[in-house]
Chain A
Amino acid sequence: MDELKVEYETTQYIVIKIGEEQFGINIKYIDNIVRMQRITRVPKVAPYLKGVINLRGEVIPVMSLRIKMDLEDDEYTKATRIIILKLEQHGMLGVVVDEVKEVVTLGQDNIEKMAHDGKDDKVNFITAIGKHADSLISLLDLNAVAAEKDYM
C-alpha cells in the first residue's frame, strides 16, 4: 500500500474493465500491455495462475484477475489484454483483463480511501476509489493482487 502514500499531486492510472466494473492500475507499475496470446499452462499451480507467456524472450507468469476475485473464468475476446506489471517483490507478472479503456490522471482530491471490512475478497484488492468524470474507478492494490492465495 506504500505506493499510495508517496503520491504526488496527481497520479496516472490505466483504467481497465473486468466485467462491468472499472479498475485503475497505477501507471508506474506497468511495464507493458500486450494483446492476448497463447498461454502455456503450468500444471499443479493455483487455478488463478493461467500459465506463462513469452514476452520478447522472457518467460512471464500470467494470472487471471477474474479467478482471483472469484469471478467467472475469463472469456478471451478481441479486447482482452495482458497487462505486464513490474513489481519489486514479485518481479514481472502478467494480468489478464477484459479490456483496457484509457489513461486517466487523478488528483488527490479525486481519490477516496477505502476502509477495509475484510469480508469481501474483492474489496481487499482495492485501496481507494477514484472519481473521474461521471464514473468511479476502483484503484487496485497490486501487492494484494499479486499475493499468493491458497485455493483448496
Chain B
Amino acid sequence: MDVSQYLEIFIDETKEHLQSLNTQLLELEQDSENMDTINEIFRAAHSLKGMAGTMGFKRMQALTHDMENVFSEVRNGTLKVNAEMIDTLFQCLDALETYLSTIQESGDEGTDDNEPLIKALQAHQGKAGSAPAAKAADKAAPVAEDTSDGYEKKWKNIKFGDVEKHVLTEAAEQDMNIMGITVYVQESCILKAARAFLVYKAIEEIGEVIVSEPRAQDIEDERFELDFSLIVVSEKSLEEVIKAAEGVSEIEKVLGEVIDSSLYQGGKAPVAAVAAESVAQTTEVAAATPAKATPAKTEKKAVAKPVVNRTVRVDIEKLDVLMNLVSELIIAKNSLVSASTVESNSNNTGFNEHIEYLESVTTNLHESVMKVRMVPIESVVNKFPRMIRDLSKKLNKKMELYMSGEETELDRTVVDEIGDPLMHLLRNSADHGLESAAVRKERGKPEVGSIFLDAYQDGNNVVIEVRDDGNGIDVESVKNKAIERGVITPEQAAGMSDKEIIDLLFLPSFSTAKVVSDVSGRGVGLDVVKSKIESLSGEVEVKTKLGEGSTWIIRLPLTLAIIQALMVVVGGEKYAISLGSIQTIEDISPAEIKTVQAKEVIHLRGTVIPLIRLSDVLDAPSTKDPSENMVVVIVKKGDKLAGLVVDELMGQQEIVIKSLGKYISKCKIISGATILGDGEVALILDANTLI
C-alpha cells in the first residue's frame, strides 16, 4: 500500500503522541498509582503501535509493542511502576524520537533495532509474570479455563459507579447470577465491532449487561482491541451465558466467572459473597462510602482529559500565501487612502466612508489571519520538564522546573525557532546557574533548585523569562575570564559597568564553566541564543544578583509581518518606527538640551533621557532650522528610554514589513522596509538597536 501521502500526518501525530507520552510519564513518575495517567499512556502507546504498523515501520512497531505490553501490565495492576522502569521507558521514547527523525529525513525508519531496549522492556514484563499468575490461581475460577494462556479476566478491572453498584446489589438480593465476562475476538477478525455487537445481543437475550468495558458506544465504534469485558446479570447460569457468547463466530475465547459482591462493593464488603441476603445491610453502607470518593475522582478525570479541538491541519506555506495576500490588500488599501486624501474635497464623503469601511475590514482580516498563524508556545515548552528531569540525573543536582503561561501565543514561525534558544538558557541555568545540593544547603537555600519558565504578553511583545534561584552570574569571574581570553584588556575592564561585563557572555566562544560538560560549556550557547533571537526580531537580556540567581528575559514581537507604525521624516526621507516601542512624542526646545559626558540629554518629568539625532545616525542632513523646537520621539527598550530627534511627524499607519533581502543585511538600524500608499519604499527603523 502506498502510504507516503499519510507520512506527514503520521509524523505530526507521532510527535503529538510522543509528547503526550513524555508528559504522562513524568506524571507517572510523581504519582505511580494514577490510573488515569496509566490509561492515557497505554492509549498513546497503543495508537503509536497501530500507526507505525500501518505505515510499515516494523522496528518502531516492535518497540512500541513491547512498551505497550509493559503499560498493559501496569494497567492491570500486575506490575508496579519503579524508577528503573521509568528510565527504560524514557529511553524508549528517545529511541522512538530517533526513529521519527530518521523517518522525517529519509522516509525510512533506519536499521537500528534497539534490541537492548526491547530486552529491558521484556525483563520488566517478565517480573510481572510471576505475581499475577499466583493471584489468578488463588481466585480459583468456577470455569476450568485459567489465565495462563495469555487471556486475562479483564472484567476484574471494571470500576463500578454508584448506579451499577445499586443495580448489582439489588440483583444479588433477587438471587440473580452476577458474572464477569471477557470476550476475546479472533485477531484475524475484520469486523470486530459487528462480532462484539452480536455477542452483546446474544447476552442481552438471556440477561442484562450492566457494565461494559470499553463502553457500549466505543465497542460499536470499534474503539477496542481484541477483547472487551462485560458485567452481566442473568437468571441463567454462567455456562449458558458463555455458550451464548461463544455461539458467535470469530470469537476466540470467552472467559467468565460468577463474581462476588466484594468486587463491586469496592472490596469493603465481607468475602462471603453469594449469600446476598445476609450482606444486604452492609452493602448499603459500603456502597455509600465509596460513593463519596467517586465523584471527586470523576471530576479529576474530567479536568485531566483534554478537550479535543476541532482543528484542520494547514500547511504553513498556505498560510504564508494568505498572509501575503492580506499584505497586498493592505498596501492597496493604503494607496486608496492616500489617493483619497490627495483629492479630498467636500463632496466625496461617500467615498471616504467606503474607504473607512474597507480599512476596518482589512484590519479585521489581518487580525484573524494573524490569529490563525498563532500557536501557543506549549508545543515547544512541553518537552522541557523531561529535559530538566534528565539534566537533574545527569548533573546530579536536584531541580524542579516551574512553568507558567504555556498558553501564550506566538506566530508559528517564531514558535518553531524559539525552542533551541530556550533549551540553551534552561540548560545554562541548570548547569551554571544552580549550585550543587551541598552548596545550596550551606547557603540556606532549599536543596532542590528551582528553574522558572514564565511567558506572558506585554503590549506588542511576548516576553519569555527563564529564571533560576541559583548562584547568579559572578561578574568578577566573567571579567577575569574575559581578560584571560583576551576579549578585553584589564584597562577596558576597569572602565566597564557590571552590565557591560555581563553582556560579554553573549560574545561568541565565551564560556565560564570551569569544567566542560556535555550539557553546556562549549561556549556555543549564549551567542547562538542571542543571534537566533535577534533573527526573530527579538532581544535577550539578563538580570542577575550574585548568590540569588539570574533571570534571562527574551522579548519577541507578537507578529512578524504587519505592524502599526509611526511615520516620520528625517532629512526629507520617510522612516517608520514601530508603534510598539514608542512611549511618547515630545516637543522640545533646543534650550532644554543638556550635555552629560559629552552626550546630549533631556530632562523629562524626572527622568534623564539621552537624545539620538536621527539625522546624524542616518546620514540624512536635517532640513530644519536648529533654533526651532524639535520633535522628539521617546522610545523604550525594556526599561531604557531614548529620545529620537526627527524633522517631522507624518502620522500613524499600518505597514507591511518587507525584508530588505540578504543583499543589504549589514545595516543593523534598519529592520526592514515597507511600501507606502504611493508605491514609495520607506525604511523601518529598529529603535532597539539605537538605544
Contacts and interface: CB of A to CB of B under 8 A. Distances in A.
A59 B657 CA distance: 10
A38 B573 CA distance: 12
A92 interface: yes
Interface string A30-62: 000000001011111100010111100111110
Residue of A38, A44, A91, A92 contacting most chain B CB atoms (<10 Å): A44
Contacts of B669: 43-44
B618 interface: yes
Residue of B327, B617, B620, B666 contacting most chain A CB atoms (<10 Å): B666
B202 to A, nearest CB: 70
Contacts of A53: 681
Nearest to B574: A40
Nearest to B663: A61
A90 interface: yes
Contact of A40 (B573, B659, B662, B666): B573
Residue of A38, A57, A91 contacting most chain B CB atoms (<10 Å): A57
A38 B481 CA distance: 51
B335 to A, nearest CB: 11
B664 interface: yes
Contact of A42 (B331, B660, B679): B660
B675 A57 contact: yes
B179 interface: no
A93 interface: yes
B653 to A, nearest CB: 16
Contact of A61 (B327, B617, B664): B664
B530 to A, nearest CB: 21
B315 interface: no
A44 B680 contact: no
A41 B670 CA distance: 11
B667 A92 contact: no
Interface in B634-691: 658-664, 666-670, 673, 675, 679-683
Contacts, number: 69
A100 B675 CA distance: 27
Contacts of A91: 661-663
Contacts of A92: 661
A127 B9 CA distance: 50
Contact of A54 (B619, B666, B667, B679): B679
B548 interface: no
B328 A57 contact: yes
Residue of A38, A61, A92 contacting most chain B CB atoms (<10 Å): A61
Contacts of B331: 57
Chain B: interface secondary structure? mixed
A12 B641 CA distance: 57
B660 A61 contact: yes
A29 B682 CA distance: 27
A83 to B, nearest CB: 15
Interface in A55-85: 57-61
B663 A59 contact: no
B663 A54 contact: no
B661 A61 contact: yes
Interface string B595-619: 0000000000000000000000111
B673 A59 contact: yes
A45 B683 CA distance: 13
Residue of B661, B666, B670 contacting most chain A CB atoms (<10 Å): B661
Contact of A45 (B328, B664, B673): B664
Contacts of B679: 54
Contacts of B681: 40, 51-54, 59
Contacts of B659: 59
A38 to B, nearest CB: 6
Nearest to A94: B663
Given A40-B682, A52-B681, A54-B675, A45 B662 contact: no
Contacts of A58: 658
Contacts of B663: 49, 61, 90-91, 93, 146
Interface in B232-281: none
A59 B661 CA distance: 8
A85 to B, nearest CB: 11
Nearest to B657: A59
Given A40-B682, A40-B683, A60 B661 contact: yes
B680 A59 contact: no
B664 A49 contact: yes
B658 A43 contact: no
Contacts of B662: 90-91
Contacts of A40: 573, 673, 680-683
B328 A54 contact: no
A90 B664 CA distance: 10
A58 B328 CA distance: 10
Given A59-B660, A91-B662, A42 B667 contact: yes
Residue of B664, B668, B669, B679 contacting most chain A CB atoms (<10 Å): B664
A43 B667 CA distance: 7
A54 B666 CA distance: 20
Contacts of B675: 54, 57, 59
A59 B662 CA distance: 11
Nearest to B570: A43
Interface in A91-115: 91-93
A69 B300 CA distance: 75
A92 B663 CA distance: 9
Contacts of A49: 663-664
Contacts of A41: 573, 620
Contacts of B680: 38, 40, 54
A58 B286 CA distance: 76
Nearest to A90: B663
A41 B669 CA distance: 14
Residue of B328, B663, B673 contacting most chain A CB atoms (<10 Å): B663
Given A59-B661, A90-B662, A92-B661, 9 more contacts: A42-B660, A42-B664, A42-B670, A43-B618, A45-B664, A52-B673, A52-B683, A53-B681, A57-B328
18 contacts: A40-B682, A42-B683, A43-B667, A43-B670, A44-B667, A45-B664, A49-B664, A52-B664, A52-B681, A53-B681, A54-B679, A59-B660, A59-B681, A60-B661, A90-B662, A91-B663, A92-B661, A146-B663
The list of the 7 closest CB pairs from A to B, nearest first, reads: A40-B681, A59-B658, A43-B618, A59-B673, A61-B663, A54-B681, A54-B675
Interface of B: 327-328, 331, 573, 617-620, 658-664, 666-670, 673, 675, 679-683
